Amino acid sequence: MERALDLAEGAAGGGAPRPAVGAVVVARDGETIVGEGATQPNPGAHAEAVALDMAHDAANGGTIYCTLEPHQFRSTTPPCSQAIIDAGIGRVVCPTVDPNPQVAGRGLEHLKSAGIEVINDVDDASQQRADELIEGFAKHVKTGLPFVTVKWAMSLDGKIATRGGDSKWITGSAARAHAHSLRYRSDAVMTGIGTVLADNPRLTARDPKSGTRVYGRPYIRVVVDSNAKMPDDAALLEEDGEVIQAVSNGEAANRRCEVIMAPSQTEDSVDLAAVVRHLGERGCINVLVEAGERLTGSLFDCGLVDKVVVYMSTDKIIGGSDALSPVGGSGPSVIHDVTRLKNVRMEQFGEDIAIIGYVG
DSSP string computed for 187-232 = SEEEEEHHHHHHH-----EE-TTT--EETT-SSEEEEE-TT----T
- Decide: 94 and 70 in contact? Cβ < 8 Å: yes
Residue 339 CA to chain centroid, in angstroms?
21
Strand spans (E) along 4-139: 22-26, 33-38, 63-66, 91-93, 117-119
Active site residue 48: yes
Measured distance CA(24)–CA(47) in Å, rounded: 9
Among 180, 231, 170, 226, CA closest to 203: 180
Among 198, 61, 201, 66, CA closest to 133: 66
Measured distance CA(239)–CA(53) in Å, rounded: 35
Catalytic-labelled residue, pool 9, 36, 48, 135: 48
Catalytic machinery residues:
48
